[in-house]
Chains A and B, each alone.
Chain A
């Protein structure tokens, strides 16, 4: 095992896949110079400008070109810089990438990975902070991944690149420097659609993903100090999502909190909560609770930005309210 950051993990994964498969290439603004967050550092030196393609600020065509390139036999990894900027490529993602295989009757595949970093980070304000994962889960055709740890960023990116479906790949900007271990050897993938129990517990289940994993870990530690044993399920894959892992955990704890950074209203937590309620509501000791951002644009000023974050104290309050 090697200790790397979340950012380095993704760079290693892409380099490994590009060595493994000559049809893998990447395109986006500044990727030839390492990318906006340094997550492409060194790739152009190794693979050249035809496979690590710096592009104009043309999100629609970055994405549309990737669709065309994917349909004729290559595997583009698209960098859209911020999930907020990806909205300039909504037609190319939703109407083209996600639908081409279906509407052309299976004549083609669109094996493209669409990287769009999400989340609140350093006063980035309303147009550089959003977590819009639920939009994509709502759209048939997409796989949606949101890794929360270096190992998952490494292993899931590799799986995404090998996947024949279009994959929305959301990295959290606040996690770039989070350190963790990844396997040596470069061939270990993380399966799409499998959650991970990152902290076992008995009294209450927190289902979470992406940057909120760090909040959940801190909250679980605080809860332990009060004698409450919290189990954390990191979904990692939002579509498909690992219902069985969630059901098993809730079967044991009988209490569920879904915690995410995105706006609570119509966030993916609503799908998790509804599914658990429909499937095993009669086994719950208390109703499912959701924690997410208020439905306001993300403000700039740090104290106001913090009001959008689900904090450890919020989780603790909820845990207490659930009567554990």
Chain B
């Protein structure tokens, strides 16, 4: 890569190489979401799609520290996590389109995107539902004698649901290796979360349950990566749960159908300035990367997702017979 310099110079080079890879993941997420947005507007994605544009750094920074054998749970806004954990963008796009070859045969769609082969245990249409699931997955892995770490993504809206309290308490009392990642994009659907949240907020709630909390700029992938790396290492060595309060911003509306223009224009402008892609790119430029090299990363990502779009648009619908499969083994549809 163009930023390479002699290995003996140490840290900065390693860091730049690492950030370059994270930047590439972020570019893939951004390009996937932009392709999905286009497809939704063209009527090719029929159901709700919740875009994570503006939140790419948390997905990339956390998942970049996980092994394939580690696990994640995700949310209704889960495309970025799924890509960062290693799922195929082609299969994901087919799933959004409801087509054959989708990650769930087109039976789940955007809100139930999942790829168990890479440890992605599912997005979830129910806010906070992934929290207990993550805790239980960690408990089971320990029972099986495996050292997997579980990263549990949820939004700021989830801190006002009961499973947040129950699940964090659970992870604490059983000392489970769950990395709770609260992606605080300021809005729970169309409502400002601050107006609906008593007390000082997510980090204080985690701390009150004995889970160490770490507030961070969730748009700074270098910071997310460094923090997640440290916490995952501690958990892998036998440490209990940790909590990241990643402050970020949902650049788009709640769903593709929501332009999001009901938010203050100054706020939107402020966060467009504080875009995670720009921050990572600037870091790499400062570290010596050439703009052309970075543009090539962006172009590759856009090409990959354009191909995924074309592939999904050309794919057939699932066979009708699939509607009645995988319901249950005993007592399923005849």
Chains A and B are bound partners: yes
User: Contact at B129–A95, with CB atoms within 8 Å?
Assistant: yes
User: Contact at A106–B140, with CB atoms within 8 Å?
Assistant: no
Inter-chain contacts of A140 with B (CB < 8 A):
327-328
Scan residues 146-183 of chain B and give those whose CB is less than 8 A from a CB of chain A.
162-163, 166-167, 169-170, 173-174
Map CB proximity to B onto A95-107 as digits: 1 under 8 Å, 0 otherwise: 1100011111111
Map CB proximity to B onto A148-159 as digits: 1 under 8 Å, 0 otherwise: 000000000000
Scan residues 149-208 of chain A and give those whose CB is less than 8 A from a CB of chain B.
163-166, 192-193
User: Contact at B327–A103, with CB atoms within 8 Å?
Assistant: no
Cα A164 to Cα B131 with chains together (Å): 23
Question: Are A165 and B132 CB-contacts (below 8 A) given A56-B169, A73-B144, A104-B114?
Answer: no
Cα A25 to Cα B126 with chains together (Å): 27
Scan residues 309-334 of chain B and give those whose CB is less than 8 A from a CB of chain A.
325-331
Q: Is B302 an interface residue (CB 8 A)?
A: no
User: Contact at B114–A107, with CB atoms within 8 Å?
Assistant: yes
Inter-chain contacts of B135 with A (CB < 8 A):
61, 64-65, 68
The segment from B10-18, B97-105, B215-223, B234-242 that touches chain A is B97-105
Map CB proximity to B onto A58-82 as digits: 1 under 8 Å, 0 otherwise: 1011011111111111101000000
User: Contact at B326–A106, with CB atoms within 8 Å?
Assistant: yes
Question: Are A143 and B136 CB-contacts (below 8 A) given A72-B121, A107-B104?
Answer: no
User: Contact at B104–A103, with CB atoms within 8 Å?
Assistant: yes
Q: Is A46 an interface residue (CB 8 A)?
A: no
- The residue of chain B having its C-beta at the shortest distance from the C-beta of A108 within the complex is B116
Cα A239 to Cα B138 with chains together (Å): 31
User: Contact at A56–B139, with CB atoms within 8 Å?
Assistant: no
Q: Is A84 an interface residue (CB 8 A)?
A: no
User: Contact at B166–A106, with CB atoms within 8 Å?
Assistant: no
User: Contact at B137–A71, with CB atoms within 8 Å?
Assistant: yes
Inter-chain contacts of A55 with B (CB < 8 A):
170
Question: Are A68 and B137 CB-contacts (below 8 A) given A74-B144, A92-B132, A95-B129?
Answer: yes
User: Contact at B129–A91, with CB atoms within 8 Å?
Assistant: yes
Inter-chain contacts of B105 with A (CB < 8 A):
105-106
Inter-chain contacts of A142 with B (CB < 8 A):
328
- The residue of chain B having its C-beta at the shortest distance from the C-beta of A105 within the complex is B104
Inter-chain contacts of A72 with B (CB < 8 A):
71, 121, 137, 140-141, 144
Q: Is B125 an interface residue (CB 8 A)?
A: yes
Inter-chain contacts of B125 with A (CB < 8 A):
95
- The residue of chain B having its C-beta at the shortest distance from the C-beta of A102 within the complex is B326
User: Contact at A61–B104, with CB atoms within 8 Å?
Assistant: no
Cα A53 to Cα B73 with chains together (Å): 23
- The residue of chain B having its C-beta at the shortest distance from the C-beta of A74 within the complex is B140
Inter-chain contacts of B104 with A (CB < 8 A):
103-107
Inter-chain contacts of A107 with B (CB < 8 A):
103-104, 114-117
Cα A51 to Cα B140 with chains together (Å): 10
User: Contact at B122–A91, with CB atoms within 8 Å?
Assistant: no
Distance between B165 CB and nearest chain A CB, rounded to angstroms: 8
User: Contact at B126–A69, with CB atoms within 8 Å?
Assistant: no
Scan residues 189-237 of chain A and give those whose CB is less than 8 A from a CB of chain B.
192-193
Question: Are A143 and B330 CB-contacts (below 8 A) given A68-B132, A107-B116, A108-B116?
Answer: yes
User: Contact at A74–B143, with CB atoms within 8 Å?
Assistant: yes
| Total residues of chain A contacting the partner, CB 8 A | 48
Q: Is A282 an interface residue (CB 8 A)?
A: no
User: Contact at A193–B330, with CB atoms within 8 Å?
Assistant: yes
Distance between B285 CB and nearest chain A CB, rounded to angstroms: 40
Q: Is B112 an interface residue (CB 8 A)?
A: yes
Q: Is B260 an interface residue (CB 8 A)?
A: no
Q: Is B108 an interface residue (CB 8 A)?
A: yes
User: Contact at A100–B122, with CB atoms within 8 Å?
Assistant: yes
User: Contact at B326–A101, with CB atoms within 8 Å?
Assistant: yes
Question: Are A67 and B136 CB-contacts (below 8 A) given A60-B163, A100-B122?
Answer: yes
Inter-chain contacts of A166 with B (CB < 8 A):
328
User: Contact at A163–B136, with CB atoms within 8 Å?
Assistant: no
Scan residues 218-273 of chain B and give those whose CB is less than 8 A from a CB of chain A.
none
Q: Is B133 an interface residue (CB 8 A)?
A: yes
User: Contact at A163–B133, with CB atoms within 8 Å?
Assistant: no
Q: Which of B129, B139, B140, B174 contacts A92 (CB 8 A)?
A: B129
- The residue of chain A having its C-beta at the shortest distance from the C-beta of B331 within the complex is A240
Q: Is B134 an interface residue (CB 8 A)?
A: yes
User: Contact at B325–A106, with CB atoms within 8 Å?
Assistant: yes
Q: Is B274 an interface residue (CB 8 A)?
A: no
User: Contact at A66–B136, with CB atoms within 8 Å?
Assistant: yes
User: Contact at B140–A143, with CB atoms within 8 Å?
Assistant: no
- The residue of chain A having its C-beta at the shortest distance from the C-beta of B117 within the complex is A107
Map CB proximity to B onto A231-252 as digits: 1 under 8 Å, 0 otherwise: 0000000011000000000000
Distance between A264 CB and nearest chain B CB, rounded to angstroms: 24
Inter-chain contacts of A91 with B (CB < 8 A):
126, 129
Inter-chain contacts of B134 with A (CB < 8 A):
68
User: Contact at A64–B116, with CB atoms within 8 Å?
Assistant: no
- For this complex, 30 residue pairs linking A to B, each with C-beta atoms less than 8 Å apart, are A25-B143, A50-B143, A51-B143, A56-B173, A58-B170, A60-B132, A64-B163, A66-B136, A67-B132, A67-B133, A68-B138, A69-B136, A69-B137, A72-B71, A72-B140, A72-B144, A73-B140, A74-B140, A74-B144, A96-B126, A96-B129, A103-B107, A103-B122, A104-B112, A105-B108, A106-B325, A108-B114, A163-B330, A165-B329, A240-B331
5 further A-B contacts with Cβ under 8 Å, apart from A71-B137, A107-B103, A143-B331, are A61-B135, A68-B73, A92-B132, A108-B116, A165-B330
